[in-house]
Amino acid sequence: MIRTGLLIVLIPLLLNSGCREEFMPDVEGYDDILIVDGMVTNEPGPYTIKLSRSAKLNKPDYHPLPGCEVTIYENTGESEKLEEVEPGVYKTSEDGLRAETGNSYKLSVVTPDGSEFESDFIEMKQKVGVENINAELEFHESNEYPRPMGGYQFFLTSEPAGTDVNLLWKLSETYEFTSDFKIQYIYRGHGIESFTNSDTLYRCWKTQDVDEFFVATTKPLQGTQIKKEPLHFVNSETKRLQVRYSLQVKQYNISERAYEFWTEIRDQIAGDDFLFSSQPYQIRGNVRNVDDAEEPVMGFFTVGAVTKERIFVNRPPEVEFFFNECVPNTDLRALAYMGPNQFPVYLTDTEDGMAYASDFCFDCTMRGGKLAKPDFWVDEKKDNN
């Protein structure tokens, strides 16, 4: 498992994750470094390359690098110059370059000051299939979870692919959840009215990237496939497992150098004392300055054939949930003191009578959810374990 929350102090573009506050040494000479984040796959484009400049290591801010000339080359002689769609973000066109297995690809970047950076040509390997994804009910306890926390641990087994295969997994999750209360009444300043459609704003679906990524190789194995590789653990501290949960796995067949890069990062952050062993700025990517090979460049240009698989699981049985729930207020006299800027006020029935609460307790979209069910969503209440 690789915890991406720490990577923002190392490679701000590689993964969009929360920044965990850490002591960072003030190291001279390692600010204003080019950071490259991009991937070419066997799927249709557009492909995206993000470029930025690092700040000082103890100030891990994101500084996009606009105005660059970015080109992806294919070993067949084809190439495409990317368009800058927002500061520091460069994309191929929708009907532009389409990467194919067996071909190789190189990234070229010319910065506004005329410096030229490039990667080597990297072969697009054949995609590797996924044999199985399953979820097992487990209870974890750690410094993060001082009490046994129930949830699902996900595992993946790849299809047989060879004795020298390197895989990278990136995950996204979608989950169905509800607000704490249904809207049964509404107050607009002129008496409490019944609300006919109580399911309004009650049920949502939320999709987001999982804040972890994973790598493995078949090299040390006595076989040609990776079996029951542990992915992430989803606990009962949030509403993710409240109703129904779906995990999408993107499995990339990557180069040995890419595997080494992500493994180095994993090793750096394996413990909380990683900052005091070998410094993260020593991990260099596969892009170099054409005129100065010693100039550090961070990040990585990845070429990888992708396979996508999805699993659905229902709410785990006999698991206690620990997410905070709203507390309704049954003292309706407070409604008389509310102003027009607070209307409408939503109310619901409780064991203690009619009660009101904040909009957040009634409106699932305020937790980042969407009211529209995703096209891929399967409502059947059965596990695909």
Domain ranges (residues) in the chain: 2-125+272-304
Residue-level pLDDT at 5: 36
Quote the tokens at residue 18: 């929360």
Query: What does the alpha-carbon distance between residue 333 and residue 6 come to, in Å, rounded to a whole number?
Result: 48
Tally of residues, the chain: 385
CA 270 vs. chain centroid, Å, equals 19
Sheet holding 229-235, edge to edge: 130-140, 149-158, 229-235
CA 70 vs. chain centroid, Å, equals 25
Q: Which 3-state string (H, E, C) describes the chain?
A: CEEHHHHHHCCCCCCCCCCCCCCCCCCCCCCCCEEEEEEECCCCCCCEEEEEEECCCCCCCEEECCCCEEEEEECCCCEEECEEEECCEEECCCCCCCCCCCCEEEEEEECCCCCEEEECCEECCCCCCEEEEEEEEEEECCCCCCCCEEEEEEEEEECCCCCCCEEEEEEEEEEEEECCCCCCEEECCCCEEECCCCCCCCEEEEEEEEEEEEEEECCCCCCCCCCCEEEEEEECCCHHHCCEEEEEEEEEEECHHHHHHHHHHHHHCCCCCHHHCCCHHHCCCCEEECCECCCCCEEEEEECEEEEEEEEEECCCCCCCCCCCCCCECCHHHHHHCCHHHCCEEEEEECCEEEECCHHHCCHHHHCCECCCCCCCCCCCCCCC
Residue-level pLDDT at 380: 72
Block mean pLDDT (10 aa), the chain, length 385: 40 37 41 90 95 70 91 97 98 95 97 97 96 95 77 97 92 97 94 90 97 90 88 94 97 95 78 44 83 92 97 92 91 93 95 95 96 94 52
Quote the tokens at residue 312: 């659905």
- Looking at the DSSP bridge assignments, the partners of residue 178 are 203
Looking only at the bridges linking them, the beta strands covering 89-91 and 48-54 are antiparallel
Residue-level pLDDT at 6: 34
Q: Does the CA dihedral 125-111-294-14 come out positive or negative?
A: negative
Integer-rounded Cα Rg, in Å, for the chain is: 25
Query: What does the alpha-carbon distance between residue 6 and residue 8 come to, in Å, rounded to a whole number?
Result: 6
